[in-house]
Structure 1
Amino acid sequence: MALARVHNFSISLDGFGTGEPQSLESPFGHAGERLHEWMFATRYWDDDGQSGMDAVYASRHDVGFGAEIMGANKFGPPGWQDDPDWRGWWGDDPPFHTPTYVLTHRPRPSVEMEGGTTFHFLDASPADALATAMEAAGGLDVRLGGGASMIRDFVRAGLVDHMHVVQVPIVLGRGVRLWDGLDALEERFDIEAVSSPSGVTHLTMTRKHAP
């Protein structure tokens, strides 16, 4: 059965998935790239990187997914909807290689990129967006790519089957928090924590099934 999954989503010790303010020059605001340095240090990202625990987790980012859903703020900086030529942060060959659904209140025509990525723009509820992505995924899983507010919406709606969240040992103090409004999450998910020598903690959350 296909799953809705979050994978390799990094947060700070105080739970922020991005800093502020987000802009074209600073996609993650004052956080910069600090939330993702653990991944950059792995062989998944760099052939000369380390091949330990972090690399194993990171490498699963591409495994088993047939579609992705992302929030508007992952696709571009504030105001990208006003630029008809904006095609995302990632150049001509984005790293998704699947149908990718961008949630926005201002849809536009789909954009076909190199490497198998096509961006589709949806003004839809989490449930409707997931149904559309599941159909496109052809039996594979759907990756919920973030940002934090978008993932929160899917968790609140009871649509997330599995989450891999990486807690990075930094404190941001401000930004967009992943956990806001998700009280008693542990009642809905089985949670495992694995600490890495790099200092990050891999949190794996699997939705509990009703008895």
Structure 2
Amino acid sequence: MSKVRVSAFSISIDGYGAGTDQSVEDPLGRRGEELHGWAFETRTFQTMFGKEGGSTGVDEGYAARSMAGLGAWIMGRNMFGPVRGEWPNHDWKGWWGDNPPYHCPVFVLTHHERPPLEMAGGTVFHFVTDGIESALAQARAAAGARDIRIGGGVATIREYLAARAIDELHIAVSPVLLGKGEALFAGLDLDALGYRVAKQEAGENAVHLTIVRGD
């Protein structure tokens, strides 16, 4: 059965899912890349970046599963790029080059209209201006029996958690203290929303938590 899930989303020990001051030079914010060190070393991510080798342990298992069985993605505009306000033009096409790693429809939450953007490898970015429910409905239609991945960033995941729309949440806790940034769970009562920790497992470079929503 199709799931709405968050996979391989990294946070610091002090709960931050992104650093401050996102920019073209620092797409994950200051020190944000440090959160994802566990993933960058895996075979899955090395392959995504056109490289050979990579780790094959516990971390790799989570990385591989994060990309499997997906029929659609949803992401916030900040994850798509650093452009704010009205689109000045349509030149910005994401961080990932001509062949992004998604290979399926991607629904980008934004307040500003933009026509769909077709990329190599089957990725098509659709820009959704009428809210998270509309984006999810469109993603469900596109995904069919395959899963929908809420890719981020922090604000987008928080919105879908607050709406109880996420079935499963995989968090990788990296051994990093950011001190400040975007806190993933601040102000969210996950227990009251019906979420529970179903699994915890230590990987080579992160601790993996699987959080699920009860019926």
Under a length normalisation based on structure 2, what TM-score does the superposition of the two structures give?
0.92
| C-alpha deviation, 1:84, in angstroms | 2.1
Counterpart contact for 2:6–2:151, Cα < 8 Å:
yes
Match status 1:197 vs 2:187: no
| C-alpha deviation, 1:24, in angstroms | 0.9
CA offsets 1:122-163 (integer angstroms, 9 cap, x no match): 012222211110001122111000001100000001100001
RMSD: 1.5
4+ runs of 1 displaced by more than 4 Å?
none
Q: What secondary structure, in the 3-state scheme, does the structure 2 residue paired with 1:82 have?
A: coil
Per the alignment, residue 12 of structure 1 pairs with 12
Per the alignment, residue 59 of structure 2 pairs with 54
Aligned match for 2:187, one of 181, 189, 193: 181
Per the alignment, residue 84 of structure 2 pairs with 79
Residues 190 and 184 (structure 1 numbering): CA distance in 2 closer, same or farther, change over 3 Å?
closer
Per the alignment, residue 127 of structure 1 pairs with 133
Distance (Å, rounded) in 2 between the aligned partners of 1:135 and 1:18:
30
Aligned match for 1:168, one of 162, 168, 174: 174
Q: What secondary structure, in the 3-state scheme, does the structure 1 residue paired with 2:10 have?
A: strand
Distance (Å, rounded) in 2 between the aligned partners of 1:100 and 1:184:
27
Residues 78 and 174 (structure 1 numbering): CA distance in 2 closer, same or farther, change over 3 Å?
farther
Counterpart contact for 2:105–2:123, Cα < 8 Å:
yes
* Structure 2, gaps ≥5 residues long: 47-51
Letter in 1 for 2:79: K
- After TM superposition, list the pairs within 5 Å mapping 1:32-43 onto structure 2: 32-43=32-43
Per the alignment, residue 101 of structure 1 pairs with 107
Counterpart contact for 1:122–1:129, Cα < 8 Å:
yes
- After TM superposition, list the pairs within 5 Å mapping 1:15-34 onto structure 2: 15-34=15-34
Counterpart contact for 2:164–2:213, Cα < 8 Å:
no
CA offsets 1:90-143 (integer angstroms, 9 cap, x no match): 000000000000000002000000000000000122222111100011221110
Distance (Å, rounded) in 2 between the aligned partners of 1:142 and 1:96:
11
**Bigger CA drift: 113-122 or 57-66?**
57-66
* Structure 1, gaps ≥5 residues long: none
Residues 186 and 39 (structure 1 numbering): CA distance in 2 closer, same or farther, change over 3 Å?
farther
Per the alignment, residue 49 of structure 2 pairs with none
Match status 1:156 vs 2:199: no
Under a length normalisation based on structure 1, what TM-score does the superposition of the two structures give?
0.94
Seq. identity, %: 45
Q: How many residues align?
A: 208
Counterpart contact for 1:127–1:159, Cα < 8 Å:
no
Letter in 2 for 1:71: G
Q: What secondary structure, in the 3-state scheme, does the structure 2 residue paired with 1:107 have?
A: coil
